[in-house]
Chain A
Amino acid sequence: MADVVLYSPAIDVLPTETLQEIFLFAIADDDNQKRTKWVLSQVCRHWRAVVISYPRLWSRIKFEPTTQAGARRLAQTALHRAQTSDLEITMIWSATAGNWAGRREKGHFISLALSRRNQWKSLVIIDNEFGVESNLSVLAEGVRYTTLPKLKAVRYHTTRNSREGHHVFELISSAPNLEVLNLRNVDFMGHMIPEPLRVLRLDNCTMRAVDAVYDMLALTPNLEVLHMSDSLPYSHVHDHDGSHLISLPKLRMLSLGIRAYVHDAWFVRQLDAPKVHCLHLWTGRNSCPRCPQLSVAVSRREQNYMSVYRAIFGQGWRIDTVDVAELSCPYLPLLESMPNLRNLAVGRTSDLRAIVHAAIVEEGFDFEPLGASVSVPIFQLKELAIHDLDEPSFLLRALNANPPTPFSALTHIFAPRAVSLPWNLSVISPNVGVRRESEAHEELHRVHPVTESWPDWAAPLFNEGGPARRRSL
């Protein structure tokens, strides 16, 4: 029989390490409104000592343009308390900083950040100014003759003219250990990218120097995630011996915007990436080559989509995860070629009709196969993510259908807007007409709990450069 000594608990006698752990969680979603770390430092003498003497709490610094007094002093204090810890710096340059006071504050913060440049771990810049010169060149100039050994991630999103964004390449040329690069609306000039790069996200980036981009991709053998909102066009080096142009042996996730260009399929075929298992596809809604009503006029655009799907099929990837902005019938041939598919993210519940071959009818929603030639998909989904869970009654039918559907073995349903939507909403859609869905919502939540979040395996929502959720309620 073992006895343990008596212990008297109270918040103010918690070990310092435990308090620090609590504070780290508390500042995880800190922002300039809550200012949690400042709040925690003003509770009592003990807490203040713990907060001030714990540099990790001060390592995340966000600068938003403001004309309010004291912002600069707070930034100085925060940097001082961060001591030598790695810094995660976020700068938001918005149109409100266009006035002189805002610009002066911004300049001060940039010089402050540059004074600690060897501690940068991540750098996020949202550049939405207009009418004034970008400060990106100032920042790039400040790191020109130095190295940023700790810098692992850079994100630069801008709404400015894309040609002004090329300074970001001067900046990352000083970061030999960069692993994540996320650019939006930047004129991608194909500058050399550090070899350790693992994640490359190019959103709406103009590819002017195509050959240089191909060269750049050839020099990033460690790439694991590649997102391009536009596929690369033909390059001058495309007259080759038939082997793949781009060898990415570690690539596991491909996120591609498919615009129905002729070169889309060509780009997919150039990839030599045997480990790809996750696809995020970004296309527009298009008509169905199998629908009796529409197949009479399959356009050239649809043919281009189909050629992309054939190129993906030809790669022989073992795909287990797919995220598509909208699942319309043309995706079916693609999905049917993926027996290992386990995770699927779609925009709306009605997109699932394509999978179960439900006819689009005005009244009722029984599954009516479109024809004997249509085969049932051979995959069994484990996780399903639906951005707009607008027809829970349909999903219920699919879950409980006999014979089993690809949804019968689902273990997890993600629907970030499942509860925020009013359940008594009357659905008005071309698929189902008008119907009240409140009972179906309750039934679905009762028999199959829905997680109100977006899964990690799907593309980030909205502004993160994933497939756009084109329609919403």
Chain B
Amino acid sequence: MSITLISKEGAQFLVSKPVADRIGVVRDCAYGADFWLGYAVATDDSMGITLANVTSSILSKILVWCEHYKDMEPLVDGDSNMEFPEWDMAYIGHDMNQILFVLEAADYLHIPGLLLLACKGIADVLDGRNPRGICDLLGIVMDFSHRQEVDMDKENGYWRWFLHPT
């Protein structure tokens, strides 16, 4: 059985059942309650599912991950010290923009393993940066109130130079 996934731009991706099984939303859409109840599912090769907010490039990247993990279980839970396989770390890379899109698509498509990997990828990119660097990287505005700034001044103490270099 195969399923056609349609991206935001309308591009079609034909994927096999083991690959599609990695995507929670697709699994739910394709099999519905029958899947969870263990009954046989329809085998309609022409089945198509539109993922209206996943672009073709991100969908193709996500399908690479699903293809890799079609026969084995990805890490889906554990403590923050767990080690991801080298393939995973090479896959997710250090491009923050792309990792963010993958994360949000994984969240939207219900792919817990990929969501966890994207979180790890973002954490690695944030590593060693100061608050200003993180704001610049992610386009976040420092919107603290005066009271919060006073609190932070007290917290910072001697290492303020690291957090807020002038």
Tell me the A residues contacting B by CB distance below 8 Å: 1-9, 11-12, 14-15, 18, 21-29, 34-36, 38-45, 47-48, 68-70, 73-74, 77, 451
**Does B141 reach chain A (CB closer than 8 Å)?**
yes
Could you say which residues of chain A place their CB within 8 Å of the CB of B131? 39, 42-43
Closest 9 CB pairs of A and B: A70-B157, A9-B104, A25-B123, A26-B123, A7-B53, A28-B80, A24-B80, A2-B29, A21-B119
Could you say which residues of chain B place their CB within 8 Å of the CB of A42? 131, 144, 152, 156, 163-164
Q: Which of the residues B50, B119, B157, B158 comes within 8 Å of A2, measured between beta carbons?
A: B50
Evaluate whether A22 and B119 lie within 8 angstroms (CB atoms) in the complex, with A6-B53, A7-B104, A11-B140 already known. yes
Residues A28 and B148 in contact, CB atoms below 8 Å apart: no
Q: How distant is the Cα of A2 from the Cα of B119 in the complex, in angstroms?
A: 28
Task: Report the minimal beta-carbon distance from A124 to chain B, rounded to whole angstroms.
Answer: 14
Q: Nearest chain-A residue to B48 (Cβ)?
A: A1
Residues A18 and B103 in contact, CB atoms below 8 Å apart: yes
Could you say which residues of chain A place their CB within 8 Å of the CB of B141? 44
Q: How distant is the Cα of A309 from the Cα of B25 in the complex, in angstroms?
A: 57
Mask of B123-139 contacts with A, CB within 8 angstroms, 1/0 = 11011111100110011
Residues B119 and A8 in contact, CB atoms below 8 Å apart: no
B contact residues, total (Cβ < 8 Å): 52
Q: Nearest chain-A residue to B133 (Cβ)?
A: A39
Could you say which residues of chain B place their CB within 8 Å of the CB of A27? 80
Evaluate whether A4 and B51 lie within 8 angstroms (CB atoms) in the complex, with A38-B155, A43-B131, A69-B158 already known. yes
Could you say which residues of chain B place their CB within 8 Å of the CB of A9? 53, 100-101, 103-105
Q: Which of the residues B48, B143, B159 comes within 8 Å of A35, measured between beta carbons?
A: B159
Residues B50 and A3 in contact, CB atoms below 8 Å apart: yes
Residues A8 and B140 in contact, CB atoms below 8 Å apart: no
**Does B115 reach chain A (CB closer than 8 Å)?**
yes
Residues B52 and A18 in contact, CB atoms below 8 Å apart: no
Q: How distant is the Cα of A262 from the Cα of B74 in the complex, in angstroms?
A: 49
Evaluate whether A70 and B48 lie within 8 angstroms (CB atoms) in the complex, with A7-B53, A39-B130 already known. no
**Does B14 reach chain A (CB closer than 8 Å)?**
no
Residues B100 and A11 in contact, CB atoms below 8 Å apart: yes
Could you say which residues of chain A place their CB within 8 Å of the CB of B120? 25
Q: How distant is the Cα of A7 from the Cα of B106 in the complex, in angstroms?
A: 12
Q: Nearest chain-B residue to A21 (Cβ)?
A: B119
Residues B107 and A26 in contact, CB atoms below 8 Å apart: no
Q: Nearest chain-A residue to B82 (Cβ)?
A: A28
**Does B73 reach chain A (CB closer than 8 Å)?**
no
Q: How distant is the Cα of A82 from the Cα of B80 in the complex, in angstroms?
A: 17
Tell me the B residues contacting A by CB distance below 8 Å: 25, 29, 48-53, 80-81, 86, 100-101, 103-105, 107-108, 115-116, 119-120, 122-124, 126-131, 134-135, 138-145, 148, 152, 154-159, 162-164
Could you say which residues of chain B place their CB within 8 Å of the CB of A14? 103-104, 107
Could you say which residues of chain A place their CB within 8 Å of the CB of B159? 35, 68
Residues B119 and A36 in contact, CB atoms below 8 Å apart: no
Q: How distant is the Cα of A16 from the Cα of B140 in the complex, in angstroms?
A: 16
Q: Which of the residues B25, B81, B104, B135 comes within 8 Å of A4, measured between beta carbons?
A: B25
Q: How distant is the Cα of A35 from the Cα of B120 in the complex, in angstroms?
A: 18
Q: How distant is the Cα of A77 from the Cα of B80 in the complex, in angstroms?
A: 22
Task: Report the minimal beta-carbon distance from A384 to chain B, rounded to whole angstroms.
Answer: 17
Q: Could you list 6 A-B pairs, sorted by A, with CB under 8 Å? A: A9-B100, A11-B100, A42-B156, A44-B143, A68-B158, A73-B157
Could you say which residues of chain B place their CB within 8 Å of the CB of A6? 52-53
Q: How distant is the Cα of A14 from the Cα of B134 in the complex, in angstroms?
A: 16
Could you say which residues of chain A place their CB within 8 Å of the CB of B108? 4, 7
Residues A39 and B163 in contact, CB atoms below 8 Å apart: yes
Q: How distant is the Cα of A6 from the Cα of B129 in the complex, in angstroms?
A: 33
Q: How distant is the Cα of A2 from the Cα of B25 in the complex, in angstroms?
A: 10
Residues A5 and B52 in contact, CB atoms below 8 Å apart: yes
Could you say which residues of chain A place their CB within 8 Å of the CB of B143? 44-45
Q: How distant is the Cα of A64 from the Cα of B156 in the complex, in angstroms?
A: 17
Q: How distant is the Cα of A3 from the Cα of B6 in the complex, in angstroms?
A: 9
Residues A4 and B155 in contact, CB atoms below 8 Å apart: no
Residues B53 and A36 in contact, CB atoms below 8 Å apart: no
Q: Which of A6, A11, A36 has the most CB of B within 10 A?
A: A11
Q: How distant is the Cα of A34 from the Cα of B131 in the complex, in angstroms?
A: 11
Could you say which residues of chain B place their CB within 8 Å of the CB of A451? 86
Given contacts A27-B80, A42-B152, 10 further A-B contacts (CB under 8 A): A3-B50, A4-B51, A9-B101, A25-B119, A26-B126, A42-B164, A44-B142, A45-B148, A68-B158, A69-B157
Q: How distant is the Cα of A73 from the Cα of B135 in the complex, in angstroms?
A: 26
Residues A44 and B119 in contact, CB atoms below 8 Å apart: no
Task: Report the minimal beta-carbon distance from B133 to chain A, rounded to whole angstroms.
Answer: 9
Residues A18 and B140 in contact, CB atoms below 8 Å apart: no
Q: How distant is the Cα of A77 from the Cα of B162 in the complex, in angstroms?
A: 19
Could you say which residues of chain B place their CB within 8 Å of the CB of A47? 140
Q: How distant is the Cα of A53 from the Cα of B119 in the complex, in angstroms?
A: 19
Could you say which residues of chain A place their CB within 8 Å of the CB of B115? 18, 21
Q: Nearest chain-A residue to B145 (Cβ)?
A: A45
Q: Which of B51, B52, B100, B127 has the most CB of A within 10 A?
A: B127
Task: Report the minimal beta-carbon distance from A447 to chain B, rounded to whole angstroms.
Answer: 17
Q: Nearest chain-A residue to B46 (Cβ)?
A: A1
Could you say which residues of chain A place their CB within 8 Å of the CB of B50? 1-4
Q: Which of the residues B53, B148, B163 comes within 8 Å of A38, measured between beta carbons?
A: B163
